[in-house]
Amino acid sequence: MAGRKVAISNCARALNDNEIYIIQIFDNAPSGLLVKAYLQAKSLEYFMPITEGELEKAALNRGEAALTRLAESIDLVEKGGAIFLESSIPGIAKPKFIGRTRAGDGTLPAFLAKALAELCRDKPAGLEAVKRLGEWMLEHNPNQPAVDEPEDGPEAAVAAAAA
């Protein structure tokens, strides 16, 4: 298949749930690496991107010994009811979990889903889509500071404050 990436490292090992996973590491240069853990028995896949900066901080390269060390450092972690891959090597960032990040009365993923649904209604193309999405998100930002003005208007608020 054209464009299909081939793993630069493959191994099989048990993770902390005592299941045997196929661990594959893909080279996504210049962005970094992508680690995939696949549990064939249950058809589950977990992914973990690693940036070039993280590789540098962790003193890892793309050599066989470094990739083996990376594969051996991978395990599963549970955060907020979701399962992620995590490395125990210092310098590799822990997974970020945005599922419960607040956005107004809802969550960030719900806000993003609404923003993308609005974008799909208009179907702008190219950079216009990015511009429209950004404008919609700024206009509907649920975390914008709000000012409660008295029903009589701002003049009444100024007069009340001066009294």
Q: Is residue 148 part of a domain?
A: no
User: Within this chain, do residues 107 and 84 fall inside the same structural domain, yes or no?
Assistant: no
Q: How confident is the model at residue 162 (pLDDT cuts 50, 70, 90)?
A: low
Residue type, 25: I
Same domain, residue pair 46 and 73: yes
What domain count does the chain have? 2
Angle of CA points 122, 127, 130, to nearest 5°: 65
Angle at 114 between CA 95 and CA 44, to 5 degrees: 40
For residue 20, the number of C-alpha atoms closer than 13 Å in the C-beta half-sphere is 4
Which has the higher per-residue pLDDT, 144 or 158?
144
**pLDDT, tens digit, for every residue of 45-62?**
999 999 999 999 999 999
Q: Tell me what the pLDDT averaged over the chain comes to.
A: 86
Whether the full predicted model's pTM is greater than 0.85, yes or no, is: no
Give the domain range for residue 104: 99-140
Residues 62 and 28 in one domain: yes
Over residues 58-71, the mean pLDDT reads 96
Indicate if 84 and 114 belong to the same structural domain. no
Specify whether 61 is located in the same domain as 115. no
Verify that 82 and 42 share a domain, yes or no.
yes
Are 16 and 86 in the same domain? yes
Q: Are residues 82 and 24 in the same domain?
A: yes
- My answer on whether 89 and 112 are in the same domain is no
